């Protein structure tokens, strides 16, 4: 929150469809991250980007894709190749500097039927 927007809050899709989750920030931060959270579990890193037009895979990138064409936007596409897409998806940003605080958006809860 506080400059990070994720929409929509709840999203339903049929199995086999690709779906793109939105993450927008107006704080002019370079670093952006996508995490996935399953019930009762911690967060797992999917992708992160430190600068426009560049991004790196996290721990569970398979079945996901991202783009970073603009500094303020880091959309995540959940493809049909992701075997278990139903989850809570969180976007985060990190300000420049030597410390590693991350600030999270409100999340999107994706349900694939």
Partner 1 sequence: DAKTTQPPSMDCAEGRAANLPCNHSTISGNEYVYWYRQIHSQGPQYIIHGLKNNETNEMASLIITEDRKSSTLILPHATLRDTAVYYCIVATTGTASKLTFGTGTRLQVTL
CB contact at 8 A, 65 and 75: no
Interacting residues with partner 1 between 92 and 111 (CB under 8 A): 92, 94, 96, 98-107, 109
Toward partner 1, which CB reaches closer, 9 or 83? 9
Which of 48, 55, 64, 74 is the binder for partner 1 (CB under 8 A)?
48
Interacting residues with partner 1 between 10 and 29 (CB under 8 A): none
Q: How many CA atoms lie within 13 A of 4 on its CB side?
A: 24
Cβ of residue 16: shortest distance to partner 1, in angstroms?
27
C-alpha distances in Å from residue 42, one per residue of 2, 39, 87, 89: 22, 8, 12, 12
Considering only CA atoms, which of 36, 28, 30 is closest in space to residue 76? 36
Residues in contact with partner 1 by CB under 8 A are: 1, 30-31, 35, 40-45, 48, 50, 56, 58-59, 88, 90, 92, 94, 96, 98-107, 109
């Amino acid at each position: 929150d506080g400059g990070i927007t994720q929409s929509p809050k709840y999203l339903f899709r049929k199995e086999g469809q690709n779906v793109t989750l939105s993450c927008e920030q107006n704080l002019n931060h370079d670093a952006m991250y996508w995490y996935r959270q399953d019930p009762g579990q911690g967060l797992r890193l999917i992708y992160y980007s430190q600068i426009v037009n560049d991004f790196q895979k996290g721990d569970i990138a398979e079945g996901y894709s991202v783009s970073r064409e603009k500094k303020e936007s880091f959309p995540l596409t959940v493809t049909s190749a992701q075997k278990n897409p139903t989850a809570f998806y969180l976007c985060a940003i990190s300000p420049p500097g030597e410390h590693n605080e991350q600030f999270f958006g409100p999340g999107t809860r994706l349900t694939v039927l």
